[in-house]
């Protein structure tokens, strides 16, 4: 076994990170080498968990017509409880109440008052947890 050749090989491996494995042999000896994938410092840093956004859901239109806000109007960040009236859909001159199917905090109006709406169209977005103050406009 030629120690100089082994040292040369190890030196070459240190200079060429793309070489992953190989074999060196001579009369009566053989060396196989395999490089582990490189480990970076970032691999040991705990991942910073992004704060989870609380679940959101939309209140959908249950008919075709014109959307009307309730009286008094809802405010962004306001708590909405299941079964409460969140608006009206006006169809053929009749105002049909739009009722919340779940509860949460109002985070977004998806249509403006007086806009025509389609069946199944999302109208209002609620978030199950209290939104952060900067999220409330």
Query: What are the pLDDT digits (tens) for 5-61?
Result: 677 766 766 666 666 677 777 788 777 777 665 555 555 555 556 667 778 888 888
pLDDT, greater one: 129 or 12: 129
Rounded distance between C-alpha atoms, residue 52 and residue 120, angstroms: 27
The per-residue pLDDT for 39 is 57
Is 108 a residue whose pLDDT tops 70? yes
Q: Note whether 37 and 67 are same-domain residues.
A: no
Q: Find the CATH number of the domain harbouring 119.
A: 2.40.50.100
Domain count of the fold of the chain: 2
Report yes or no on 50 lying in a domain: no
What average pLDDT score do residues 113-129 get?
89
The per-residue pLDDT for 16 is 65
| Residue labelled with tokens 């007086």 | 114
| Residue labelled with tokens 């991942």 | 47
Q: Note whether 12 and 74 are same-domain residues.
A: no
Q: Which domain holds residue 13?
A: 3-44
Rounded distance between C-alpha atoms, residue 58 and residue 111, angstroms: 12
Report yes or no on 51 lying in a domain: no
Measured torsion, CA atoms of residues 62, 66, 72, 78, in degrees rounded to the nearest 10: 50
Q: Which of 21, 34, 25, 22 is nearest to 2 (CA)?
A: 25
CB 130 within 8 A of CB 106: no
Query: What are the pLDDT digits (tens) for 68-104?
Result: 877 778 888 899 999 988 888 888 888 888 888 888 9
Q: At 85, phi and psi to the nearest 5?
A: -80, 125
Is residue 105 very low, low, confident or very high in pLDDT (cuts 50, 70, 90)? very high
The per-residue pLDDT for 28 is 81
């Amino acid at each position: 076994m030629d120690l100089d050749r082994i040292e040369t090989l190890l030196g070459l491996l240190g200079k060429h990170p793309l070489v992953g494995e190989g074999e060196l042999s001579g009369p009566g000896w053989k060396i196989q080498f395999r490089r582990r994938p490189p480990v970076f410092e970032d691999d040991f840093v705990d991942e910073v968990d992004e704060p989870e956004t609380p679940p959101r859901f939309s209140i959908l239109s249950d008919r075709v017509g014109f959307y009307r806000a309730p009286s008094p109007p809802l405010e962004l960040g306001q708590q909405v409880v299941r079964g409460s009236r969140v608006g009206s859909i006006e169809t053929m001159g009749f105002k049909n109440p739009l009722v919340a199917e779940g509860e949460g905090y109002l985070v977004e109006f998806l249509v403006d008052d007086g806009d025509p709406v389609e069946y199944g169209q999302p109208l209002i977005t609620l978030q199950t947890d209290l939104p952060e103050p900067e999220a409330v406009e």
